[in-house]
Amino acid sequence: LFTLIEDGTVTSPSGFRAGVAAAGIKYQGRLDLGVIASDRPGPIAGVFTRNVVRSAPVVACQRRLNSGVGQAVIVNSGCANACTGPRGAHDAEQMARLAASRLGISPEMVYVAGTGVIGTFVPLDRVAAGLSKMALESSGGHDFARAIMTTDTRAKELALAVTAPAGCFTIGAAAKGSGMIHPDMGTMLCFITTDASVDGRFLQAALGRVTDRTFNMVSVDGDTSPSDTVLLLANACSGHPTIGADGGQEFEEALLEVCTRLAMSIAADGEGATKLFEVIVTGAASESDARRAARCVAGSSLVKTAIHGADPNWGRLVCAVGRSGAAMDPDRVSLSLNDVPVMSRGMPAPFDEAALRRSLEADHVRAHIDLHIGPTSATAWGCDLSHEYVTINASYTT
């Protein structure tokens, strides 16, 4: 159905180019401005933060999404442009205008995103200067994935080649973490491109469903950013008949694969993280219960510090389920860590502590919690809580 493209990126689909600049928005000499542009306009879908405090770029994107059409995105990684009032709203529109003028298209076709310090203003002169020296190229995807990074230690990007009944197409994506990340639209920024021809309404519905199962199941620190943005541009350059609700299964499965991989890499590269922490809840009474329990365990500071220390302190996981709001019967719960049963039907299960400690030192730790009361399951992804997380966040604005 789909294959991973070697060295794939957000410009792997046909008809997309990207450009970057070191515009000096917050720091000198690092890439901090990126543009993705399609050769032609097409349907666009978006999912955004659920925080009541929304950044000016999020508000600008949500307004544009009423049309359902887009052609380009401009992103900066030095300034969130949040809590900046009417001037911030004006600045976000101005960023779209500057990019539109550079690309020779309408400002309404340009979507805007930003990440960085809250409560500071975008230096528009530096954005303009960055755009003026920017070259947009079909090989520009890798640089784009680097330009949107803040505290990320690795670029997060991939592309899939998909074979569907409607025809062949490609999906590419780039995302960034890595702090202020929690379930309610739990990514920071993610840009997905495809040369598939997709019905606009189906595109939005599929992106919403996939986001709920992927980015919304990631937690790095329980905090929700005002800038969270996922945008999906479809430019129809692959030329096959339009995919809609009826023919969309392969498209949605491939999109799920792309977003699952990115969600896992966002969690694994959480601020200060030394390991990926995967929490699988089965036997829940409902899907929302399963999700709530899995996210609560993945987000618990006490669980995360224990995972950091490879400490099999499993009572903390059970207690996190207990405060999650999910229906549970403590006497039925079974729990394993890296496939070693540590609790069985509500009672401690004997285990080889030294062996389990060694196993928990791996860079991927998996908890499986079976509530044994229903048929549904969910998976959440988080990371450990380390000294480095404290170091990063004790002096972020410095």
User: Any idea which residues carry the catalytic annotation?
Assistant: 187
Q: Is 280 in the site for its own copies (CB under 8 A)?
A: no
Expressed in angstroms, the distance from the first to the final Cα of the chain is 48
Q: Is 167 in the site for its own copies (CB under 8 A)?
A: no
Count, residues near its own copies per rule CB under 8 A:
66
State the DSSP string of 215-255: GGGB-SSS---S--EEEEEE--TT-PPPB-TTT-HHHHHHH
In the bound state with its own copies, the residue whose beta carbon lies nearer, of 196 and 218, is 218
Of 62, 242, 260, 313, the residue at the interface with its own copies (CB under 8 A) is 313
Token output for 210: 């996939």
Binding mask 175-214 for its own copies (x = CB under 8 A): ----xx-x-x------------------------------
In the DSSP assignment, the letter for residue 107 is G
In the bound state with its own copies, the residue whose beta carbon lies nearer, of 197 and 225, is 225
Sign of CA dihedral 184, 53, 118, 305: negative
Coil, helix or strand at residue 22: coil
Judged by CB under 8 A, the stretch of 192-200, 338-346, 360-368, 375-383 that binds its own copies is 338-346
Q: Residues of 58-80 as b/e, b for ≥16 C-beta within 10 angstroms?
A: bbbbeebbeeebbbbbbbbbbbb
Q: Is 156 in the site for its own copies (CB under 8 A)?
A: no
Of 203, 343, 356, 369, the residue at the interface with its own copies (CB under 8 A) is 343
- Give the strand pairing for 69-76 and 276-284: unpaired
Rounded to the nearest whole angstrom, what is the least distance from the CB of residue 177 to its own copies in the complex? Answer: 13
Q: Phi and psi of 152, rounded to 5°?
A: -55, 145
Q: Is 54 in the site for its own copies (CB under 8 A)?
A: yes
List interacting residues with its own copies (CB under 8 A): 50-54, 80, 82-85, 117-120, 179-180, 182, 184, 221-226, 299-303, 305-306, 308-309, 311-316, 318-323, 328, 330-331, 342-343, 346-348, 385-387, 389-398
